[in-house]
Structure 1
Amino acid sequence: KEKPKPSEKEKVAPEVPLMPKTQEEVPVKVYKLAPVDFTDELPAVGTVKSVPALELKFETNGIIKTMNVKEGDKVRKGNILATLDPRDVKLEIQWAQSKLNAAQAEYNAALKRYQVIKRLYEVGANIKDRLDQAQAELDVAKSKIEVAHKELALSKAKMEKLKLKAPADGIIGKREKDVGEFITPNDVILTLLEPENTYVEVGIIEKDIYKIKTGQRVKVKVDTYPTRIFFGYVENIFPEIDERTRTMNVRIRVLDPGRLLKPGMFARADIAVFSKRNALVVPSISVAIQRGAYYAGVVENNKVAYKRVAVEYITTDYAVIKKGLAPGDLVITETPGMKRLKSGTGVKIIETQEKLF
């Protein structure tokens, strides 16, 4: 049977489907990405040490005539620090000069005789033997001049050896001898402290050794000067690991022109293992790894979006982004329970961080 049609009174409005409940937006905190100067420092502890002072000696015997410096004086490379009495060497130079003059006079006379005999021979005189003899005498006289020149040069070189010069820039340490004393080449006259002779030796644990490179900038502090920072650089990385401590020694050259650092002081060093200006840095918690690739969560149009990023450097706290993000991106830094949100999830920003550190 046909179903009876409803009367006008029984007719009702057509059924309207129910709207799904609006999904509640998830509260999140974000960091507004901006370029920053970023440096990652590796802390290390060690001991202040110093390069042995240079011992300055004369190259010859003699009596000290002048001493031009005192302990603590700053000197430049090439400065004359002390001299020996030059009287004996001056006499030697005078004697060598007189020998040269005599040899020159002998040569001039031999040359004149040779020229006269040669002219006679050229016009037909039968004096070949005399010409050969004159030539031999001329050669001997010439060799005497050469010997005299060498002797004079050696004597003058001795005069230079009477000067004690600074081999490098530095500070005079000890003054071991004084004016009037007789010295030999074995005697230490002065000691010279180089301005950069101070260094710090620190131990780096095995897992951090790969981070250390020569030339890296370092900040050093010691307890004696708690508010002062000494700057330096990684000068040398020792090739072997200490079996007892499982650390590798690293030498840090420290700039200490005032010579405040003393050997034996306990030192704390911060080694700049990574540094970049105008870097895009995000909290490392904002970066996740999926199938071998890095992704960073951002807020776009009030929804979660994940961008694939290239990470240049990462630490426990921060990640330096090489590409994939741009200044102004709103990077998610905190979610309820720190759970990862699905892409497309609606969110509400409850806090925007403008500065990372």
Structure 2
Amino acid sequence: MKKWIKIIITVVLLAGAGYWLYEKYKPKPEAPIEIPPPITFDVTQETMTQTIQVKGKSVYTDQTDIFAPYASNIKQWHVKSGEQVSKGDILFTLDTSTLQTEVEQLQSDLEKAQLENKMNQVTLDQANMSETLGVTEEERKKAFADREGKRLTNELNQKALALKEKEIQKKQAVISKSVVYASASGIFQMNEEDSKTRAVTEGQLIGSITNISKLKFMTIVGEEEMFRLKVGMPVKVRMTAQKDLQFTGKVSKVSKFARKSTDTDLKQASQFDVVIDLKPDARMYGGVSLEGDIETMRKDKVTVVSSLAIMRDQTEPYVLLDKGNGQTEPLTIQAGMESGDKTEVVSGLKPGDIVVLP
């Protein structure tokens, strides 16, 4: 009896192990293949723009240079380098001691010459009153020559006096320029820091006054872009180092001549300078790197679709219009301007339509 029980238990165990092995290694049925939904694009109505991307730097272009009116030493500075000045403010004063000495000497010489000229005139008048014509022709000629000589000498003395007076006036005019005023408003910057103490020469550049309210974006474009640009086009500007700061400007100048570095090299494409006026903004500084998008074309309320949905393997571009319930219909369209990943649809679609990407 016990023998049969052992046999039954063994059979049950073998059956259980076999079932477990069957369940573990039996082939599993393949999962049903899910068909992904089609990729669709909505047809919308938007404003489309075309732009040209440019890079360059901000530059202060309204700058007034300050020159020394005459050779001298700077006696006193009334402003510091980097200081804001207004038109008419005193910038610096030049030393006039040497010129004053020269003027005093000239005035002394002039007074002496005037006195001598008066004495000569008195002597000439007395000689004319007591002059005898002479008896012989030779005596008369001699008297005439003496009289003419004295007259010419007097005229030369008068001219010499006039020249001295002009020289004095000229030096006095120079002295009147010893106080140098700001000819414009802005930030004054010295050309050289050591010009505070050293002597200056006539016409030497002392510094400049920069109007920081007038900044321009200087950039360069190729010859293809140049023909698309016009004065007055709006520009969106951003700093290269801080792209989150947005600024605005407009094109104020497009050069008609290629840069000299490119107009002589026949292998290199020509480049043209473009100037963009920046709207005043306290966050903008001169000399920083800038990037800009020049808007060359704008269309409002146009029908737009993704460029990916447009197929061009036939004579005319077409799309697959979604008819619903998984049904599509090829539809020929007329495409217009392109901007980024979107294309204008001139005819064939209307806002609200849905197209399918095959």
Normalising by structure 1, report the TM-score.
0.53
> Which of the pair is proportionally richer in strand?
1
Q: In structure 1, what is the equivalent of residue 8 of structure 2?
A: none
The alignment-based identity, stated in percent, is 17
Q: In structure 1, what is the equivalent of residue 54 of structure 2?
A: 45
CA contact (8 A) 1:169 1:195 kept: no
Partners of 2:117 and 2:172 in 1: CA distance = 23
- CA RMSD, Structure 1 to Structure 2 (Å): 4.8
1:202 deviates by 2.9
1:67 deviates by 0.7
Please state if 1:82 is matched with 2:92: yes
1:150 deviates by 3.0
Q: In structure 2, what is the equivalent of residue 291 of structure 1?
A: none
Partners of 1:185 and 1:230 in 2: CA distance = 43
Counterpart of 1:156 (choices 156, 172, 175) is 172
| Structure 1 range deviating more: 216-225 or 86-95 | 216-225
Q: How does 1:129-140 map to 2 (within 5 A)?
A: 129-140=145-156
The alpha-carbon distance between structure 1 residues 156 and 258, as it changes in their structure 2 partners (threshold 3 A), is farther
Q: How does 1:24-63 map to 2 (within 5 A)?
A: 42-50=51-59, 56-63=66-73
CA contact (8 A) 2:88 2:181 kept: yes
SS in 1 for 2:114: helix
Deviation by residue 1:32-86 (Cα, 9 ceiling, x = unmatched): xxxxxx9977443212143697764535443322111123323355643111222
The alpha-carbon distance between structure 1 residues 98 and 226, as it changes in their structure 2 partners (threshold 3 A), is farther
> Aligned AA for 2:349?
M
Partners of 1:334 and 1:258 in 2: CA distance = 43
Please state if 1:176 is matched with 2:193: yes
Q: How does 1:209-248 map to 2 (within 5 A)?
A: 209-214=226-231, 218-222=235-239, 224=242, 226-237=244-255, 239-240=257-258, 248=272
1:112 deviates by 4.5
CA contact (8 A) 1:230 1:256 kept: no
CA contact (8 A) 1:177 1:189 kept: no
SS in 1 for 2:244: strand
The alpha-carbon distance between structure 1 residues 236 and 246, as it changes in their structure 2 partners (threshold 3 A), is closer
CA contact (8 A) 2:74 2:95 kept: yes
The alpha-carbon distance between structure 1 residues 204 and 284, as it changes in their structure 2 partners (threshold 3 A), is farther
Q: In structure 1, what is the equivalent of residue 274 of structure 2?
A: 250
The alpha-carbon distance between structure 1 residues 65 and 89, as it changes in their structure 2 partners (threshold 3 A), is same
Q: How does 1:1-357 map to 2 (within 5 A)?
A: 42-50=51-59, 56-76=66-86, 79-115=89-125, 128-160=144-176, 162-166=178-182, 168-174=184-190, 176-177=193-194, 181-185=197-201, 189-195=206-212, 198-214=215-231, 218-222=235-239, 224=242, 226-237=244-255, 239-240=257-258, 248-254=272-278, 256=280, 258=282, 260-270=284-294, 283=302, 316=337, 337-338=348-349
Where does structure 2 lack aligned partners over 5 or more consecutive residues? 1-44, 305-335, 339-344, 353-358
Partners of 1:195 and 1:122 in 2: CA distance = 82
CA contact (8 A) 1:221 1:269 kept: no
CA contact (8 A) 2:217 2:290 kept: no
Larger Rg: 2
Where does structure 1 lack aligned partners over 5 or more consecutive residues? 1-30, 32-37, 286-314, 318-332, 340-349, 352-357
1:148 deviates by 0.3
The alpha-carbon distance between structure 1 residues 228 and 72, as it changes in their structure 2 partners (threshold 3 A), is farther
SS in 1 for 2:105: helix
1:228 deviates by 4.3
Deviation by residue 1:228-283 (Cα, 9 ceiling, x = unmatched): 42435423426227666765442324355748324242321435x579xxxx9885
The alpha-carbon distance between structure 1 residues 130 and 235, as it changes in their structure 2 partners (threshold 3 A), is same
Partners of 2:102 and 2:129 in 1: CA distance = 41
SS in 2 for 1:211: coil
> Which of the pair is proportionally richer in helix?
2
CA contact (8 A) 1:57 1:164 kept: no
Partners of 1:196 and 1:124 in 2: CA distance = 85
Partners of 1:185 and 1:128 in 2: CA distance = 53
The alpha-carbon distance between structure 1 residues 77 and 113, as it changes in their structure 2 partners (threshold 3 A), is farther
> Aligned AA for 2:210?
L
- Matched length: 256
The alpha-carbon distance between structure 1 residues 138 and 227, as it changes in their structure 2 partners (threshold 3 A), is same
